[in-house]
Structure 1
Amino acid sequence: MAQYDVADRSAIVTGGAAGIGRATALAFARAGAKVLVADVNAAGGEETVRLIRESGGTAEFMRVDVTKDEQVAAMVKRAVDLWGGLDYAFNNAGIEGALAPTHEYPEEAWQRVIDINLTGVWRCMRYEIPEMLKRGGGAIVNCASILGLVGFANAPAYTAAKHGVVGLTKAAAQEYAQMGLRVNAICPGFIETPMVMERGVQLGKDKAAYAQVAALHPMNRLGKPEEIANAVLWLCSPEASFVTGYPLAVDGGYTAQ
């Protein structure tokens, strides 16, 4: 993995207990950042912190439910208290939600997906942005999806939420572009994470289904969490200093078709 210069900076990674979040927290730490790992899964989050510390990095864990405003506020305050400010954030916490046609989608399930995957990103940003502006700027990456760029049958809530994340990202990018704060979105294709392999479409349990989904990507494979982490680090780094408001597809060519 490429190493970008984020040394001596601070970062928050939500959804950091596994998958893309864990890989990104590890990547931030390897690049020199101090990382606050946030998740509702305390065991997984603590394991991410253990892995970071074991490799010589600096990290702390905090249990955070992004649907709870007071917990999100406390998360940002914790990072600032620990390291004097906030430079980067990867707003990654999300759930897969139910799979059902639009007219059959349960309202409770719809509200939960929207609250975590979209409103949760906004909650994080509303507390992260003021702290970054105090430092003269920073970089935020919001985790959208290829389903923030295209439609997907039987996933109306997830698709709507991720399209919303892309729109929210573009709006915020314009608001803070002259204040040193860049806001981008990452749009992963199908990635080998617990969400995909064990929950959701459960590709780890069905080789035929795995092959079918892999074939949706011109590269004929699923992505690795580390490939998304590398893109997030680039978006946060000085190397991406003229990039803001962009939904970056890291999808093996899925959306190029």
Structure 2
Amino acid sequence: MKENLSIFDLTGKTALVTGGAAGIGRACATALAMAGADVAIADVNKDLGEKTAASLRELDVKSFFLRCDVSNEEQIQTMISSVVEVFGKLDIAVNNAGIGVISDQDEIFPKNEWDKLMAINLDGLWLCAKYQAQQMIRQTPTEGKIINISSIAGVVSLPMSNGAYDASKSAVIHLTKQLALQWGRFNINVNSISPSYVLTPMMSRTTLKFRQRIRDTTPMGHIQRPEDLYGPILYLASAASDYMTGQNLIVDGGHTLGPWIEPARKREIPPPNQR
């Protein structure tokens, strides 16, 4: 007998994915469209964004691209208004837009780079969630699903990461909990997903040796693929998770389970009598 999976059906739902042009964002958008949702793609990369929207329309759903820099509050407001103008409502929002840096030298990390990263990864995500919630509260029925994309870097400290990125992702997890606490009374579920190292364009900037180390220290034996997020994003966006809110879903192939060790870099310091 065929199982009834209607609890995961998103037909008739509308969704917005920030940073949706490529990588994790594209994977999230694809999963939502595969389940029947109409999906708006917001990104700063117009060419990739248009291509992603076109690929979603091939799945027999509505999709369009709009350019939005999430560090700009006015552009975020325009983004929400545009989605409602085209789709009539907003049911699901995935806040994925973010940037990262490959640097583990916080002692020389520039303040302006810290500010830029926080403006996008944390401030921008908070502003997106704020205006998404306002729209969901105005709708009838009052309800919605907000999914924030964090990282395992918000849970454990990672080699080749830095304080700014880790702090932003950790803050996203706790912000998710606070917003869930506040907005539950509006029937808005707020959860986050923390992926591991994912095969995205950013990963291509790492060395082959580093990627092999990820495989060696991940119980599932491979680097996370964008499509490994299809199930988690669909679960949190659908009726299957209606009684789940304020949670951080770690999807990392078991990478954070065991005692993997990255040797610390040591600086040779001579004995006191030789200084």
- TM bucket (normalised to shorter chain) is over 0.9
What residue is the counterpart of 2:41 in the other structure? 37
What residue is the counterpart of 1:150 in the other structure? 156
For the Cα contact (< 8 Å) 1:20–1:229, is it kept in 2?
Answer: no
TM-score (norm 2): 0.87
Give the alignment partner of residue 178 of structure 2, picking from 162, 166, 171: 171
What residue is the counterpart of 2:12 in the other structure? 8
After superposition, what is the alpha-carbon deviation per residue over 1:53-103, rounded to whole angstroms, capped at 9, x for unaligned? 123221010011000111100111111111111100000001112513222
1:97 aligns to 2:101 (yes or no): yes
For the Cα contact (< 8 Å) 2:31–2:233, is it kept in 1?
Answer: no
For the Cα contact (< 8 Å) 2:10–2:36, is it kept in 1?
Answer: yes
1:47 aligns to 2:51 (yes or no): yes
Counterpart mapping for 1:1-257 below 5 A: 4-135=8-139, 136-153=142-159, 154-197=161-204, 199=205, 202=206, 206-257=207-258
Q: What amino acid is the match of 2:99?
A: I
For the Cα contact (< 8 Å) 2:117–2:164, is it kept in 1?
Answer: yes
Deviation at 1:111, TM superposition (A): 0.8
Taking the aligned partners of 2:231 and 2:70, their CA distance within structure 1 comes to: 24
For the Cα contact (< 8 Å) 1:95–1:195, is it kept in 2?
Answer: no
Q: What amino acid is the match of 2:184?
A: A
After superposition, what is the alpha-carbon deviation per residue over 1:187-240, rounded to whole angstroms, capped at 9, x for unaligned? 00111111222x4xx2xxx43221112222222211111111321111111001
Taking the aligned partners of 1:108 and 1:48, their CA distance within structure 2 comes to: 32
Deviation at 1:151, TM superposition (A): 1.6
Taking the aligned partners of 1:245 and 1:255, their CA distance within structure 2 comes to: 20
Q: What amino acid is the match of 1:232?
A: I
- Higher Rg: 2
Identity value in percent: 38
Taking the aligned partners of 2:226 and 2:73, their CA distance within structure 1 comes to: 28
Deviation at 1:145, TM superposition (A): 0.2
TM-score (norm 1): 0.93
Q: What amino acid is the match of 2:21?
A: A
What is the root-mean-square deviation of aligned Cα atoms in Å?
1.4
Runs of 5+ consecutive residues of structure 1 not aligned to the other structure: none
